[in-house]
Structure 1
Amino acid sequence: MTREGALIVIVAFTVLLIAVGVWAWTKRRRRDATPLITPGDVPAGATTSALFEGLYVATTRHDVPLERIAAPGLGMRSRVTVTVTDAGLALDLTGRPRLFLATDRIAGVDQSTVAIDRVVEKDGLTRLAWRTDAGDLVDSYFRPQDASARALADAIAGILSTTQTGTDA
């Protein structure tokens, strides 16, 4: 095979890989076209207990960290501000309307090392399990910038235990 022939094969193969990737992402976007949650704001009178700046990594099916959900607003990695209040969490993703997760929608919080396109040090991500508008359980992953993943997880766990026990913090 000549040098030009080899170059043509390599270019054709590269174009084919890119086309398959675009096709797969388009198919996933169609599958996940329904928003997981309606945008909303923190209820009036809610008290803010913590604020975390960081990176929103991904939302996946519950306990399937390599199955990204490409729902509107949650399909791509983004900067995020997580506001922890006594009523729930407000998520401010860059360029998107605010999302609010009331405490009754939050199923749990812990730490993780792996999400779809991110591998970090042991327990370097905060994993938030929550219920969508349709009632499905999903996991969202966050990487705090100026605090540890444990600090974010503890702040969220604090509002869950307060809600479940009915005590004031």
Structure 2
Amino acid sequence: MTPALMNLAAEAAAAVEPKSAEVTDWAARIGWVLGLLLFVVLVYWLMRQGWKWRGELQSDLPELPTAPETTEPARLSLTGRYHGSTSAGQWLDRIVARGLGTRSRVELGLGDAGITVVRPGAPDFLIPAAALRGARLDKGIAGKVLTEGGLLVITWEHGERQIDSGFRSDRAADHAAWVGAVNATTTKHTTIPTEGAAR
């Protein structure tokens, strides 16, 4: 065998021979993983502190009214999701006090006393009929954006504050009926001053 053929055979054998894998720097990898975990924990902690701080700022909000013991048949009902509450007209100013910041499933019932809000895993409450200020269709509340008209927003007054609460029915066709019924209830409970009272 000629020297040229021997060199060629040696090169071919070297090419077929498996190369050893690069040594992994485990200390660097563990350091990166720990750093990432610490960053995630810090972000979560900051979010939680922000939530608590917002709740403390809103601590002047009175306790929410509870539904009356007597169960009257609801004139209108809705099953869907509660997306949160904000200061009226400010769709990003979320209210978290008294459990109003907790998103959940919801069952609404409109009766003579007002709107009962039943939420599994979160406090139930009543929006009294006299506190209702109107209803409309909208697309966003408390950072949640849906399709145009995909959200039922009910405006009501509690304490010194006007509140927008956002609901989405499992059947979007229910929203229009709720807007009409809530606005009719609002008109019924709004007192229009007479000429003599205005003087």
Q: TM-score range by the shorter chain?
A: 0.7 to 0.9
Normalising by structure 1, we get a TM-score of 0.80
Higher relative contact order (CA 8 A, sep 6+): 1
What's the RMSD between the two structures over aligned residues?
2.9
> Secondary structure of the equivalent of 1:72?
helix
Is there any run of 5+ residues in structure 2 with no aligned partner, and where?
Answer: 1-27, 193-199
Whichever residue aligns with residue 164 of structure 2, its letter is D
Report the CA distance between 1:147 and its aligned residue. Answer: 4.4
1:152-167 matched pairs, under 5 angstroms: 152-164=178-190
CA distance in 2, matches of 1:81, 1:109: 17
Which residue, 78, 81, 89 being the options, matches 1:55? 81
1:59-78 matched pairs, under 5 angstroms: 59-78=85-104
CA distance in 2, matches of 1:6, 1:73: 38
Greater radius of gyration (CA): 2
Q: Summarize the Cα distance change of 1:127–1:12 in structure 2 as closer, same or farther, 3 Å threshold.
A: same
Map Cα deviations across residues 23-72 of structure 1 (whole Å, 9 max, x no partner).
11221222334554433335969663211111111011111111211122
Which residue, 28, 41, 45 being the options, matches 1:15? 41
Matched, 1:136 2:157: no
Whichever residue aligns with residue 167 of structure 2, its letter is F
CA distance in 2, matches of 1:147, 1:32: 32
Does the CA-based 8 Å contact 2:85-2:101 persist in structure 1? yes
Please identify, of 37-46 and 74-83, the stretch whose mean Cα deviation from structure 2 is larger.
37-46
CA distance in 2, matches of 1:53, 1:130: 20
Which of the two has greater helix per residue?
2
Report the CA distance between 1:121 and its aligned residue. Answer: 1.0
Q: How many residues of Structure 1 are paired with residues of Structure 2 in the alignment?
A: 165
> Secondary structure of the equivalent of 1:81?
strand
> Identity rate of aligned residues, in percent?
24
CA distance in 1, matches of 2:34, 2:71: 65
CA distance in 2, matches of 1:96, 1:12: 31
Does the CA-based 8 Å contact 2:63-2:98 persist in structure 1? no
Report the CA distance between 1:161 and its aligned residue. Answer: 3.3
Q: Summarize the Cα distance change of 1:67–1:44 in structure 2 as closer, same or farther, 3 Å threshold.
A: same
Report the CA distance between 1:20 and its aligned residue. Answer: 1.0
Which residue, 48, 54, 63 being the options, matches 1:28? 54
> Secondary structure of the equivalent of 1:137?
strand
Please identify, of 150-159 and 112-121, the stretch whose mean Cα deviation from structure 2 is larger.
150-159
Which of the two has greater strand per residue?
1
Report the CA distance between 1:85 and its aligned residue. Answer: 1.7
Following TM superposition, the consecutive aligned residue runs of length 4 or more in structure 1 with deviations greater than 6 angstroms are 43-47
CA distance in 2, matches of 1:75, 1:130: 16
Normalising by structure 2, we get a TM-score of 0.70
